[in-house]
Chains A and B, each alone.
Chain A
Amino acid sequence: MKIFTSVFLRSYLLQGFWNYAQMQNVGAFFALTPALKEIYKQDEQGLRHAAARSLEAFNTNPVLSTYVLGALIGQERKIAAAPLTPSQPALPAGLPAAAPQRQDEEREYRIIRAGTANTAASLGDRLFWATLKPLSLVLCLAVLLGAQVQILHEDLPSGGAGFAAALAVFASLLLYNVPAIAARVKGLIDGLRGTEDDFYGLIKINWNRIIYFLKTLGQIFTVFVIFCGLYLRFRGADFNAELAARFALCAAFVVLSIFMKKLNIPNMFLYLGAAAFFTAASLLA
């Protein structure tokens, strides 16, 4: 239990020494260290080999990294238990098979490391970065606009609505962190107990279904936020030519933003371009 807790807590520093050559390798080794010391407490040489293996290039999604760490601890146990001598010739049927060589287990370790890390990276990036993070943002906006906080108005009304705003931020933090912490704990348990058959726990959950459901939820919330935001922004506004022009320009940039997204050009550049364009236009007018 102590080792489990230690590996779990250390997984939060997985990216503590992120570098372009081996990425999260030092962080992965740091997280695995308590388990490796326990497995190789009588085998100094084995520990050095394990350290060298752990320091090979490593890159995965930090949240689902515990699946990989759990699977690697399990495989290190197999390596430690495997004999160093060449395996015996095939035995007659009915007799227990010879233990695989350490070399075979080490080869298997690298396959598990690469396979689980890539899968966890793909799933974790899609679920946590591309879905839950934006969903928590839209939830925050929905709470703010639902509480009629004029957060999208460029002339922000001062004071008030502090409670609703704090609630919105807190809700967004919870929406991301509760599943993230749960996934880390479950990942370590499933990774440790897992086998090749369930791909070390990674295929126990229907991730695609969860992602699909959350993305659909995100679309619904976003539509609500857009309509609510438009209503609050233009409620009671005096519709005149200037406001119509502002609205039309804003709509044009929204359409442009959609095209930019299709071209994979970040919105930040569009904003910087808009600032430059409006400045030039206003000075020339």
Chain B
Amino acid sequence: MTALLLFSALLALLEMDTTYIGQFLFSRPLVAGGILGFLTGDFLLGLQLGLFTELLYLDFMPIGGVVPPSGAISAGMGVLAVYFFGIPVYFAFFAGIVCGVIFSFIERHIRRRRVVILQSAEKEIIAGRLCAAQLIAKSLVLQYLIIFAFVLVMLTAACPVLAFISLGLPEKVHIAFKFSYFIAPWMGLAALFLSFSVKPKTD
């Protein structure tokens, strides 16, 4: 349980880099997956999960108000699902993607909630009664706790269920998911090549 808590805390910290602190790209799936893979004893597996996730998420760009699925959560959850519950990597990858998508909805909700907080905080800041640093610090702590809670809930509730289900699934379903996992990076590489297109868009 201690390891589970520690890894959840680390993953939440990595996720903070996505938007809120630094953006040094420690949160990119490739790096987050690699770090967690290294710490869980299978660096290459973590790296592979991270790479595949990043290749799939290439189309999403965090521009303006766009909240893409969380790459750090997706890759991290995948690695931790394999490590703690022995879920086959192709199911863990799928579960990670789903977790990343779910988290993007939570993230959108948090951003909407901040608008409500801002309405009163703005006046206080201008009047000099509230420090912007305090507001940001409180927001960051809350954000961290929400991510941590999300990761923990997913790991302790959703992953054991998935592990149980995956055991009972017919072999054909395993083959289907494994094949989907195999084609994921190739689809990503095609998108990667197109992302380097130097031709201006005509639409």
Contact = CB atoms under 8 A, between A and B. Distances in A.
A271 B136 contact: no
Interface string A254-285: 10111001001111101110110011011101
B139 A254 contact: no
Contacts of B121: 26
A258 B176 CA distance: 22
A268 B176 contact: no
B122 A55 contact: yes
Contacts of A278: 175-177, 179-180
B19 A267 contact: no
Contacts of A210: none
A21 interface: yes
Nearest to A122: B63
Given A20-B112, A257-B191, A261-B190, A158 B183 contact: no
A48 B190 contact: no
Contacts of A250: 182-183, 186
Interface stretch (B1-9, B53-61, B146-154, B157-165): B53-61
Nearest to A131: B196
B180 A271 contact: yes
A4 interface: no
Contacts of B195: 130, 134, 218
Interface in A1-49: 12-13, 15-23, 25-27, 29-30, 33, 47-48
A159 B47 CA distance: 12
B47 A165 contact: yes
B48 A156 contact: yes
Contacts, number: 246
B172 A16 contact: no
A188 interface: no
Contacts of B34: 165-166, 169
Contacts of A130: 61, 195
Nearest to A214: B196
B111 A151 contact: no
A19 B59 CA distance: 23
Interface in A48-86: 48, 51-52, 55, 59, 62-63
B108 to A, nearest CB: 8
B90 interface: yes
A127 to B, nearest CB: 12
A207 interface: no
Contact of B44 (A141, A161, A256, A274): A161
A169 B47 contact: yes
A246 B127 CA distance: 66
B60 A16 contact: no
A125 B61 contact: yes
Contacts of B136: 13, 16-17, 26-27, 30
A149 interface: yes
A212 B139 CA distance: 39
B26 to A, nearest CB: 8
Interface of A: 12-13, 15-23, 25-27, 29-30, 33, 47-48, 51-52, 55, 59, 62-63, 121, 125, 129-131, 133-138, 140-141, 144, 149, 151-152, 154, 156-159, 161-162, 165-166, 168-169, 172-173, 176-177, 212, 215-216, 218-219, 222-223, 225-226, 229, 246, 249-250, 253-254, 256-258, 261, 264-268, 270-272, 274-275, 278-279, 281-283, 285
